[in-house]
Structure 1
Amino acid sequence: MKKANVESFNLDHRKVKAPYVRVAGRKVGEKGDVIVKYDVRLKQPNKAHMDMPSLHSLEHLVAELIRNHADYVLDFSPMGCQTGFYLMVLNHEHYNEILDLLEKTMHDVLNAKEVPACNEVQCGWAASHSLEGAQALAREFLDKRGEWSEVGI
């Protein structure tokens, strides 16, 4: 296959073993700042996916709660294939610390009493949320914490 411009399009999704966390990209700005993009994969590609209300709520929860632990987080965004998220960080290239950060945040998700910004003022589809679904995803991800570094490729 011809090499694609998008890094994940060059990944053989048949060979990876979810769940995992891998570095999916690294960009250095003209002033030396480094943006690192992590592929945080919860579901096995082409075998399973997250339902939208659960994915949506997990996105809200992690995007809000992860910033309680790290000021270098730029973004936490869902993949359109509904199998994972992209975590982007600024000037922080410590992989094991990212794993610890995700673990802490997923524990926060398990303790959450509500989904942040789950209303029509702050969310574009406020009716599509599930706190219980997000917590089930976080629990499932945490249960396989020992496997996060094993991408399978």
Structure 2
Amino acid sequence: MNDVELAEVESFSLDHTKVKAPYVRRIGVEHGPKGDAISNYDVRLVQPNEGEIPTAGLHTIEHTMAALLRTRLDGLIDFSPFGCRTGFHLIAWGEPTPETIAAAVKSSLEDLAERITWDDVPGTEAVSCGNYRDHSLHSAREWAKVVLEAGISLDAFDRSHLA
């Protein structure tokens, strides 16, 4: 290896062959110099290395869930997709419980699967999105249904703890 120093990233030390998606997992909590807490969650929707959400559907899930989750969670900072397309990082102020996050994700996915129309999806025009042509509400809905049918676990390794 060369002389480049790399920091350890928690999610790269997670054994992706042992997790059982869908689940919500607290990755960690960081505390700022004034005591503020920021929580990072792994919201895994698809089993790693067995499938992935196509980019157009993932993009629409990202935009829609970012808006829906802000109506359900105080302090949501960001909801961003993993590059592997199997889930999302959810970043929030404070220390919301995994149960709170899972309930908000579940109810948001229910709205996405059943009630959201194309007119509801935010950021689907060139002025508001850097890749506005790459969206699919149909794909987003179908993936939301798949996740809801499987149920969202509160334990990344055990499906018996469903929210």
Once the 2 structures are TM-superposed, how far is the Cα of residue 30 of structure 1 from its aligned partner?
Answer: 1.1
* SS in structure 2 at match of 1:43: coil
CA distance in 2, matches of 1:150, 1:49: 20
Q: Give CA deviations for 1:53-88 in whole Å, capped at 9, x if unaligned.
A: 000000000011111122311100000011110101
Larger radius of gyration: 2
Which residue of the other structure, out of 125, 132, 151, is the alignment partner of 2:131? 125
Match status 1:112 vs 2:123? no
Which residue of structure 1 lines up, in the alignment, with residue 3 of structure 2?
none
Q: What are the ranges of 5 or more consecutive residues in structure 2 without an aligned counterpart?
A: 1-5, 159-163
CA distance in 2, matches of 1:46, 1:94: 27
- What's the C-alpha RMSD, in Å, of the aligned pairs? 1.6
Does the aligned pair in 1 maintain the 2:29–2:95 contact within 8 Å? no
Q: Which amino acid aligns with 1:130?
A: S
CA distance in 2, matches of 1:94, 1:41: 16
Which residue of structure 2 lines up, in the alignment, with residue 78 of structure 1?
81
Does the aligned pair in 2 maintain the 1:72–1:92 contact within 8 Å? no
Deviates most, 91-100 or 3-12: 3-12
Q: TM-score by structure 1 length?
A: 0.92
Does the aligned pair in 2 maintain the 1:73–1:89 contact within 8 Å? yes
Which residue of structure 2 lines up, in the alignment, with residue 144 of structure 1?
150
Aligned length: 150
CA distance in 2, matches of 1:92, 1:106: 22
Which residue of structure 2 lines up, in the alignment, with residue 14 of structure 1?
17
Does the aligned pair in 1 maintain the 2:78–2:90 contact within 8 Å? yes
Q: What are the ranges of 5 or more consecutive residues in structure 1 without an aligned counterpart?
A: none
Aligned identity (percent) is 41
Deviates most, 106-115 or 44-53: 106-115
Q: Which amino acid aligns with 1:120?
A: A
Does the aligned pair in 1 maintain the 2:46–2:86 contact within 8 Å? yes
* SS in structure 2 at match of 1:119: coil
